[in-house]
Structure 1
């Protein structure tokens, strides 16, 4: 059991394995979640060669200062973040106003609203198991974590993860958004790193128009995916999302 280093030493939000995880065990524990109440996470560290396995093994977790996802409306949060990320900043020496508009074209500074719900034909939990196997192939050092939470989105808040803290230090706001993706697209929380989040997706967009609406949500949720990613504008990023069964986020 891992004790949070933020409190007075009596809150243990995470059970962490001593050794690397296996995809079969992750899938088994995810299947038992309804009975156990424990959501399994594949946890990666800031530095795979660091014996402290930060932030997990050393307890760099902050569940005490998080609110509840129940207190937040996902669409309102995304709209607020969109306005923050598209606002013209006279002190910004990286992007001009025109460049900011180009990044989020065709929407510009106008929040387009959340994407429509997709029809979920694939089994979200089966898809999550497949992605867990792929994730561990790429991150064989990842360990297994168990968090008491009613769903994967809530596990991010319950464990006190603060990967996106440079944008919003209350993880419950991010959990509220991920809840919506779980319901609308069959997303499942599979892997979490120090500042990364890895979701499986059972119902990804199949056409560019659908993908653009989802890309707008992703930009609001994690602008670094576009500002510092391989796809440097919304249209290019949307094309990348078509038929993609995993969504991965990284905050600087």
Structure 2
């Protein structure tokens, strides 16, 4: 991975210029919020060998068992001020059996993935919480989904599973990896879910990544699912 020695002065323009040359260079551009030393790459053979359906079904059974134990346990009273309402208990995913992967959306029904990635990068830099002083990185990967493995991303994420999911999301939703902020990954989405039922199904795949921001209980499952309807940017982090 090549990484700029200093933050780039115009991150959106720099990223967009490198994206336009990607087919010629074979390099995927990324914005990276802090200087990043190269890590140990994960062999793509481990991603190739992973059976995504089998792994997610196994992980869902573990998730479901934990969900049932939590829902059956008596709720501990919260010591809150009288004028503060307690959080509603998170019901978790609304499935009592493994539903399989969520359906994809045809490429004809959404934005071009490259255009969606450009819009996501612009949003990351102009939104209420822009990436702080990002550097530009270039990664020699055949496809966007393989970038975390090729660059040796330092995070507690299960990289073979994450990259296999990213490959699947590329095909089903036009997803692209566009940026990293420490242990957080940002993924543009050209064809996000368009209704609540579809989003509830997609959200299960988010939960099964093990990402902390969708598993720490801060955001109830129904709220996370609702946030995915029409969302052009998905973000995950692992402590």
Contact 2:145 2:177 in 1 (8 A): yes
Match of 1:124 among 113, 124, 134: 113
Structure 1 CA distance for aligned equivalents of residues 20 and 237 of structure 2: 27
Range moving further from structure 2, 184-193 or 62-71: 62-71
1:174 aligns with 2:173: no
Structure 1 CA distance for aligned equivalents of residues 2 and 217 of structure 2: 32
Per the normalisation by structure 2, the TM-score is: 0.81
1:17 aligns with 2:9: no
Alpha carbons of structure 1 residues 208 and 177: separation in structure 2 relative to 1, 3 Å: same
Structure 2 CA distance for aligned equivalents of residues 140 and 88 of structure 1: 37
Higher-Rg structure is 2
Structure 2 CA distance for aligned equivalents of residues 229 and 143 of structure 1: 32
**1:159 matched to which residue of 2?**
151
Aligned residues: 216
Alpha carbons of structure 1 residues 214 and 79: separation in structure 2 relative to 1, 3 Å: same
Alpha carbons of structure 1 residues 241 and 87: separation in structure 2 relative to 1, 3 Å: same
**1:150 matched to which residue of 2?**
142
**2:31 matched to which residue of 1?**
42
**1:77 matched to which residue of 2?**
55
Secondary structure at 2:208 match in 1: helix
Contact 1:64 1:160 in 2 (8 A): yes
Structure 1 CA distance for aligned equivalents of residues 217 and 6 of structure 2: 31
TM-fit CA distance, 1:24: 1.5
Secondary structure at 1:19 match in 2: coil
- Structure 1: gaps of 5 or more residues: 1-13, 46-52, 90-94
Alpha carbons of structure 1 residues 64 and 127: separation in structure 2 relative to 1, 3 Å: closer
Contact 1:127 1:201 in 2 (8 A): yes
1:236 aligns with 2:223: yes
Secondary structure at 2:4 match in 1: strand
Structure 2 CA distance for aligned equivalents of residues 175 and 223 of structure 1: 13
TM-fit CA distance, 1:15: 0.5
TM-fit CA distance, 1:187: 0.7
Alpha carbons of structure 1 residues 251 and 85: separation in structure 2 relative to 1, 3 Å: farther
Match of 2:124 among 135, 160, 177: 135
- Structure 2: gaps of 5 or more residues: 74-88
> Which ranges of 4 or more aligned residues in structure 1 deviate by more than 4 Å?
64-67
1:31 aligns with 2:5: no
TM-fit CA distance, 1:64: 5.8
TM-fit CA distance, 1:226: 2.6
Contact 2:71 2:91 in 1 (8 A): no
Identify which of structures 1 and 2 has the higher relative contact order when contacts are C-alpha pairs closer than 8 Å and 6+ apart.
2
Q: Root-mean-square deviation (CA), in Å?
A: 2.3
Contact 1:192 1:198 in 2 (8 A): yes
TM-fit CA distance, 1:66: 6.8
